[in-house]
């Protein structure tokens, strides 16, 4: 167990690192950010900020010398950086989990090998593989880059076989995965935490609503009923164990007529778990810091139902109205001026257990 007074390094300086830093402080930890932006949301609430590129080896060495453990706020940390750090200092989750989740193809193969269902898929390296894959998967289908996709970036819907070449061009002719279209009732997610000891705990699943591929709202409880929820929790635990994972992990599921399919896994704290700051004794952010520090997990019990709304782009300009709303727990990320599609903050509203509106 890292003693209070130790320093935790975080790769990345956005809102997830910011909320991790805010959760690390009450445990007595200092936070050291490594991020290339000179001004970033996490640096304002952290003891140290090394402003350098993730592939700057000298900076990585310096960073490793100043921290007692390392974690990350995003899954697209260059693997080489994670591996350089791993030679010097404990790093959680293990870079192996990054390697799996950075590549949609590797991730889906890992999940299927672990006995967990995903949408049907075919690997695509050239546009001319698409028509045959469409025969197997049916129409419509979604072409997604294997790497670096998030919030709908790097993906395109294919409605007919003759769109193949244009679709492959639209994603930059990158190695890709073609996914069969899944008709789902809703998307839910589970925030799982696994300690170095192997202890696992999951927060109650959230029902996630998206707008234009960006998470708009998470509702807790998920409204899926106890059977689907316990199936989701069991699958989340299975994934955390199969990855020998340490830290907090977000798992997105499609709820279909045939059961749960796994959409994707995020080896980090997750937007759909932000409600835990206000709705639980102990948030996903503190839970993650506890794991990174080798501490035992804390309780995941919630004391309320919750609805979390992201503040995207100009939504944040309503801050004064939200400040006057006694039901709104406001969380702003101090990102400066809003841009369309940019997550600027979130708002959580709590309800007595059993009284969440739709």
Burial class from Cβ neighbours inside 10 Å (0-12, 13-18, 19+) for residue 133 reads buried
Cβ-in-10-Å burial (0-12, 13-18, 19+) of 11 comes to buried
- Residue 235: both structure tokens together: 């699958």
d(CA 220, CA 275): 8
Cβ–Cβ under 8 Å, residues 244 and 223: no
Indicate whether 321 belongs to the interface with its own copies (CB under 8 A): no
> Among 14-22, 72-80, 92-100, 186-194, which window interacts with its own copies (CB under 8 A)?
14-22
For the chain, give me the number of helices (H) and strands (E)?
11, 17
Using CB under 8 A as the binding rule, the residues of this chain from 274 to 303 that contact its own copies are 278, 281-282, 290, 295-296, 298-299, 303
Largest Cα–Cα separation, the chain: 60
Which range in 133-141, 173-181, 240-248, 321-329 contacts its own copies by CB under 8 A? 321-329
Q: Is 123 in the site for its own copies (CB under 8 A)?
A: no
Helical pair 79-86 and 57-65, crossing angle rounded to 10 deg: 40
- Interface with its own copies, residue 350, by CB under 8 A: yes
Query: How does DSSP classify residue 267?
Result: S
Is residue 268 at the binding interface for its own copies, with CB under 8 A as the rule? Answer: no
Say whether residue 51 binds its own copies (CB under 8 A): no
> Is 5 near its own copies (CB under 8 A)?
yes
197-236 positions binding its own copies, by CB under 8 A: none
Task: Give the one residue of 304, 313, 341, 351 binding its own copies; rule: CB under 8 A.
Answer: 304
Binders of its own copies among residues 16 to 45 (CB under 8 A) are 18, 21-22, 25-31, 43-45
Task: Considering only residues 63 through 122, tell me which ones interact with its own copies, judged by CB under 8 A.
Answer: none
Instruction: Name the residue with tokens 């801050």.
Output: 319
Taking the C-alpha atoms of residue 53 and residue 55, their distance in angstroms, rounded to an integer, is 5
- The distance of closest approach from Cβ of residue 299 to its own copies in the complex, given in angstroms and rounded to an integer, is 5
Binding site for its own copies (CB under 8 A): 1, 3-5, 18, 21-22, 25-31, 43-47, 278, 281-282, 290, 295-296, 298-299, 303-304, 316, 319-320, 323-324, 326, 329-334, 336, 345, 350
């Amino acid at each position: 167990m890292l003693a209070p007074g130790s320093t935790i390094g975080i790769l990345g300086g956005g809102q997830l690192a910011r909320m991790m830093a805010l959760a690390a402080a009450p445990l007595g930890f200092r936070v050291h950010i490594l991020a290339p932006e000179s001004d970033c949301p996490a640096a304002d609430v952290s003891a140290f900020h090394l402003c350098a590129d993730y592939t700057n080896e000298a900076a990585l060495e310096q960073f490793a010398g100043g921290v007692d453990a390392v974690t990350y706020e995003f899954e697209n940390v260059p693997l080489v950086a994670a591996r350089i750090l791993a030679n010097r200092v404990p790093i959680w989750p293990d870079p192996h989990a990054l390697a799996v989740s950075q590549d949609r193809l590797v991730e889906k193969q890992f999940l299927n090998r672990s006995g967990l269902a995903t949408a049907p898929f075919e690997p695509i390296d050239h546009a001319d593989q698409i028509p045959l894959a469409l025969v197997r998967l049916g129409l419509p289908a979604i072409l997604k880059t294997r790497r670096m996709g998030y919030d709908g970036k790097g993906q395109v819907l294919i409605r007919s076989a003759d769109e193949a070449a244009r679709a492959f061009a639209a994603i930059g002719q990158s190695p890709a995965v073609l996914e069969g279209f899944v008709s789902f009732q809703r998307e839910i997610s589970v925030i799982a935490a696994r300690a170095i000891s192997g202890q696992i705990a999951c927060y109650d699943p959230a029902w996630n609503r998206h707008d234009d591929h960006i998470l708009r709202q998470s509702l807790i409880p998920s409204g899926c009923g106890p059977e689907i929820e316990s199936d989701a929790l069991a699958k989340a635990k299975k994934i955390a164990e199969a990855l020998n994972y340490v830290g907090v992990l977000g798992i997105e599921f499609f709820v279909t007529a045939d059961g749960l399919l796994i959409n994707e896994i995020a080896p980090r704290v997750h937007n759909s778990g932000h409600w835990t700051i206000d709705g639980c004794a102990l948030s996903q952010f503190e839970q993650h810091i506890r794991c990174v520090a080798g501490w035992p997990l804390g309780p995941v019990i919630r004391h309320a139902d919750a609805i979390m709304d992201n503040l995207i782009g100009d939504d944040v300009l309503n801050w004064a109205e939200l400040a006057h709303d006694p039901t709104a727990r406001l969380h702003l990320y101090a990102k400066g001026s809003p841009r369309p599609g940019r997550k600027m903050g979130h708002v959580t509203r709590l309800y007595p257990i059993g009284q969440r509106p739709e």
